[in-house]
Amino acid sequence: MKGILEKNWVKGLISLILTFGIVQVLISTNIINDYLQSTLATICINIILAVSLNLITGFTGQFSLGHAGFMSIGAYVCALITLNNRTIPGFILGVFAGAIVAAIVGFLVGLPTLRLKGDYLAIATLGMAEIIRIIFTNLDSITNGPAGLQDIPQFTNWPWLFLYTAGTIIIISNFIRSSHGRACISIREDEIASEAMGINSTKNKVTAFTIGAFFAGIAGALYASTFNFINPKIFDFSKSINILVIVVLGGLGSISGSVIAAIVLEIINTYLQSFADIQMILYSLLLVIIMIFRPQGLMGSKEISFSVFGKLSSLFAPKKGRV
Amino acid sequence: MLEVKNLDVHFGVIHALKGVSLTVNDGDIVTLIGANGAGKTTTLRTISGLKKPTNGEILLDGKDITHTSAQDRVKMGISHVPEGRRVFPTMTVLENLELGAFLRRDKDEIAKDLKKVYELFPILADRRKQLAGTLSGGEQQMLAMGRALMSRPKILFLDEPSMGLAPLFVQEIFNIIKNINSTGTTILLVEQNAKMALQIADYAYVIETGSIVLSGTGKELMESEDIKKAYLGG
């Protein structure tokens, strides 16, 4: 058992290094040009958003429509810090400060709202995100109101994006495999039964919600630093829905599903830019078709090994358990 | 071991339990019988901490646990098999059982208890890798009971274990309940199948619209005319 675990760990590390290396080479040879680099950044940010929302919605079963709210907190905090301190340490501080503030808000919002279930929770989290957006819109003196913040220093590049994305995936998948994660899944499966087992459902739900908010904050900070410009409208209701679409499409309760869906959807989006007039029609049509044929999402609740490379190498090796 | 005094429970304006008192002695099988909506499940859920009472006292081994959290009550030795089994459907049988031991940190003892559960329910050992949602109703009931035993309870609450099961399975489940009891676990059993429940019970309570109306040994109640008429079909 231990041997297999170690092997998978090594396999995961190798595939991470390979992913990083290959993309790095593609960037330096300009195959991934500036335009595609922004697609790459969007993919990474969407992966972080989707994986963290999957922890809340897919694994813990709490239907949240407020992820864009937490993202906006990370974005604004990081933007304000880096605007005043245009250095790499400032950027690192900005990202983590954004994440921590988002987590604190997540905790404070989660405590009362996570007593609600299903649709009620969805409406409460949606309302929360709208309140955050309206606060940012009206805090003119700090956030520059509806016009937003411009000229945010850009620090993100592929190594940074990769570091944060891989870090998010590793931390959240480890959390899910821990006993806390098991508790979260049991709450999704049957809250009453899990309470009868002695699992504190409120505590575990709030923990998952706070961790999810933390990583949404990181994603927001990376967004601000990548695109140099933020305003409250970016983080509206439709942003939350878009994140949810990635999660559902990838499969509720599958981290690899979220990763794959984030990549696939963004690539589709990028190539559909050439058909700007009917882009949204084609995109929506594709979503409908995928959901008809894969209602459980691309991956269902299954996982594949760390990356495609791990999967490929296992094709040549004798069959083993999943990672 | 367990003493409940004058328990009142409200759901909004509905007064569900009206001063329920009952006692469960160490090592006994005690059953609570009654019709639909009489308050059987509410009684169990209140004692295990899933529902808060508005009034009354719950004592476990002489200690007041009325305001203790459900988690702490599990730690103190109360384990609850909820109505309708409620296994975790997309988890395997083994994962379900492991969750039963969620609050425990003594890995060696957990492994021992897992073995005991597999001995008690050999079918679960065969299906340990199967998803719990794919088990039959009777197997799910066994899994729910096994899962509850994994917390190594002093007292086990069973809520309608025979509900929706084939007659053959019902008999088996009751045999297993006796079996669990003979290893020293006290049992509080809620049942609609009054006949079966009274047969194995050391002591029984009859609950009607939120109040205990009658109590006595299983045998006494089996012979009571009122009970025969109301619950045993003649």
- ipTM for the predicted complex comes to 0.86
Residue B132 has pLDDT above 90, yes or no: yes
Q: How far apart are CA A253 and CA A259, in angstroms?
A: 12
Neighbour count for residue B177 (Cβ, 10 Å):
25
Residue of chain A nearest B49, judged by CA positions: A196
pLDDT (0 to 100) of residue A322: 41
Q: How far is A24 from chain B (nearest CA, A)?
A: 40
| Residue linked to tokens 């991470």 | A16
Query: Stretch A91-100: mean pLDDT, rounded?
Result: 97
pLDDT, position A300? 85
d(CA A6, CA A2): 6
User: Chain B interface, mutation test: which of A187, A189, A299, most B Cβ atoms within 10 Å?
Assistant: A189
Q: Grade residue A286 by pLDDT with cuts at 50, 70 and 90.
A: confident
pLDDT of residue A208: 96
- The three-point CA angle A105-A108-A112 to 5° equals 140
Q: pLDDT value at position B39? A: 92
Q: First CA to last CA across chain B, in angstroms?
A: 34
Inter-CA distances, B123 with A160, A298, B117, B167, Å = 52, 34, 10, 18
Whether A208 contacts A56, CB under 8 Å: yes
pLDDT recorded at residue A323:
38
List CB contacts (< 8 A) between B91 and chain A.
185-186, 189
What mean pLDDT, rounded, does chain B reach? 92
pLDDT band at residue A180 using 50, 70 and 90 as cut-offs: very high
pLDDT at A302: 82
- For the cut 80, the answer to whether the pLDDT of residue B66 exceeds it is yes
A199 vs B99: CB contact, 8 Å cut-off? yes
State residue A119's pLDDT score.
Answer: 86
How confident is residue A274, by pLDDT bands cut at 50, 70 and 90?
A: confident
User: B156 near B186, Cβ under 8 Å?
Assistant: yes
* B60 bridge partner residues: B2, B63
Distance CA A306, CA A323 (A): 8
Q: Residue range B1-15: average pLDDT?
A: 93
In percent, the amount of chain A with pLDDT more than 90 equals: 72
Cβ of B70 within 8 Å of Cβ of A182? The answer is: no
pLDDT at position B231 = 78
Average pLDDT, chain A: 89
> Does A308 have pLDDT greater than 80?
no
Q: For B19-31, what is the mean pLDDT? A: 94
Answer yes or no: do A192 and B98 touch at CB < 8 A: no
CB B104 within 8 A of CB B152: yes
Question: Which chain A residue has the Cα nearest residue B85?
Answer: A193
Q: Which residues pair with B188 in a beta bridge?
A: B30, B157
Contact B102 A198 (CB under 8 A): yes
Asked if B79's CB is within 8 angstroms of A196's CB, the reply is: yes
With 60 as the cut, is the pLDDT of residue B128 above it?
yes
- At A2, the pLDDT band (50, 70, 90 cuts) reads very low
Altogether, the residues listed in chain A come to a count of 323
Percent of chain B with pLDDT over 70: 100
Mean pLDDT of B114-138: 94
Counting residues of chain A whose pLDDT is more than 70, the rounded percentage is: 92
Radius of gyration for the alpha carbons in chain A, expressed in angstroms and rounded: 19
Domain limits of chain A?
1-32, 33-320
Answer whether residue B33 shows pLDDT above 50: yes
What is the pLDDT at residue A6?
57
- What distance in Å separates the CA atoms of residue B218 and residue A117, rounded to the nearest whole number? 41
Letter for the amino acid at A75?
A
Q: Contact, A199 vs A163, CB < 8 A?
A: no
pLDDT of residue A280: 84
Residues 184-213 of A with CB under 8 A from B: 185-186, 189-190, 192-200
Confidence (pLDDT) at A260: 94
What is the 3-class SS of A8-23, one letter each residue? HHHHHHHHHHHHHHHH
Domain A33-320's class?
A: mainly alpha
- Taking CB atoms and an 8 Å cutoff, what residues of chain A touch B75? 198
Per-residue pLDDT at B234: 58
Q: Test B87 with A198 for CB contact under 8 angstroms.
A: no
Please state the rounded mean pLDDT for residues B9-33. Answer: 94
Rounded to an integer, the average pLDDT of A105-117 is: 91
Using alpha carbons only, how large is chain B's radius of gyration in Å?
17
Angle at A301 between CA A1 and CA B123, to 5 degrees: 60
- The helix/strand/coil state of B150 is coil
Phi first, then psi: what are they for A231, rounded to 5°? -140, 165
The pTM of this model reads 0.87
The pLDDT, as a whole number, for residue A7 is 66
